[in-house]
Structure 1
Amino acid sequence: MDEEVAKLLNAAIAVHASDIYLLPKKAEYQIAFYLEGRFQIQQELSLVQAQRLINFLKFKADMNLSERRRPQLGAWTYQDLQQQVFCRLSSVGAFLGAESLVIRLIYPSLTATGYFFPEQFEQIKAACKQRGMVLFAGPMGSGKTTAMYSFAQSFKEQLIMTIEDPVEIYEPNFLQLQVNDKADMSYESLLNAALRLHPDIFIIGEIRNERTAALAVRAALSGHLVLSTVHAKNVYGVYARLVNLGISKFDLEQTVQLVSYQRLIETTGPMPKVLFDLLTLQDVSWQQIEAKKKGGMTDEWKNRLISCKDSGEITPAILEKYLQG
């Protein structure tokens, strides 16, 4: 079974898939990768083969093997010949009792060579040297968490605390806290406890509601650097989303250093690279934000994509695919 799991994970890592799905069908299971924004079926397994594979993966991730109905989360670090990949597992029983499993693959932190334009990497890094918030957006599998950790890891000899639900990347040099509402470990209670430790940098896994947004702003206003992710269609939408979550425009102007939207884009080379769309409130008016929050990228995004096509790093088809984000 070790060899079967290694073969599956190595195949997913080779194409830089963001997720592996084991999904029950009528008389078999499908294995699929989430890759380049698409769900791609790889192979089919018998029910017996799939259950053996699921049980092995759940064992590795310290999950309850006998529980096949209720949702479970687990984590496991997979080591191949070249790198460690953090695997976050999620299982749940489907309608007819068969169990499904999804493996989120979190890749090692990238250096500036993992991005099309190193100066964008340096711009985000410079923003992270200021007090306030640096926010990351992008669709599932675009590498937001990896990027956020990459920038935090570049700061040596500082106390970095994370508050996540769940923890996605194990980083032994960070103090990582995981939300557990059943144990009265909410975002709010963990942040209150964390503030007493006076960390230099906070990572808040995701700003997903009014409470989390208010806590992130509170931490930023108290003099900390806060890194977090926000779900939005573009950089303009991040600012609009925070206003909708009850954050005043004044507080956003006081706290947000930079918003980054990113996509992991296929290249003509062996590996994809990240392209950022960056925006500060010095670059745009609130009227522009309101007008473009539902769609549309900055002119800089389009110009950089064209530059990538002209230099041969991406194809014309890829340019068209990502022109609108």
Structure 2
Amino acid sequence: MWKFGRIALALLSALALFGAVAVYGGWHGAGPLEEATTITIDDGATLTGAAHRLEDVGVIASADRFLLFARFLGGNAPIRAGEYEMPAEVSPSEVLRILQEAVPVQRFVTVPEGMPSVLVHDRLMANELLTGDIPVPAEGSLLADSYAYERGESRAAVVARMQAAMERELARLWEARSPDTVVRSPREAVILASIVEKETGVAAERPIIAGVYSNRLRIGMRLQADPTIIYPVTRGRPLGRRIRRSEIAAENGYNTYAMDGLPRGPIANVGREAIEAVLNPAETDALFFVANGEGGHIFAETHAEHRRNVERWYAIRRQRGEM
């Protein structure tokens, strides 16, 4: 009898060990997923709904078994909405940890400084991970920056985030403006900043170019900014040719060769640095600038000095075969 008891106890121990190994392997062992994939958990999704979605795409073998193990071994932390990366052969325990603790996949869309709204619209509409249609946003209403978004998010929501960022940043910078700034409102700051953005891609030049245009506005001199000629022709798309004489003379509310003061609206979307440059321009006596052939500009205080700089620029262009 005692011998039989020992055998029964040994069998029970073996069964318990086998069960423990099976549970451990079923929870912590490799899962059926053959290749890494992503899965999106919607706002308000339950663990049960997520489990069936995970089974459908092959991340786990059984939703019911996953839920049973999760109930007893997985803790009580809620799962979080978002898009998550699931590696190949991810274990059920790791799947639950990812849904409870991991940072969702982050995707970004970037609005570079000086990008017009029509091109931002093109970029958003070409993004296949976003949803819904949008009109072209108001020019200058978007803050140039990089923005995180999630798969399946609406384009309208992304645009709203860009516009809210502009409103916050513009308000902050306007409060810190110099008393010497020539712009009289936040909108005028964006208009002038958009010209600065289009005139230079060199960050260090923004304050001095803002200073040049501020000087011109103070003395009633026309801005004569080439980008303001192009904008009403293309609405921000590349012109693809030289500016025509008729366009230089055109009166359309934007062309600063044919009008005094600022254009009637921005000609691009701007970043923080351009707004700050306009609100805190460099102190300079310069009234003119022209390309220096090296990606930047050379500045001048007098028209005669400027003409000499222009002739040097033309010589560089002729040497390059551009004229």
- TM-score of the aligned structures, taking structure 1 as reference length: 0.24
Bigger fraction of residues in strand: 1
Which of structures 1 and 2 has the bigger CA Rg? 2
The structure richer in helix per residue is 2
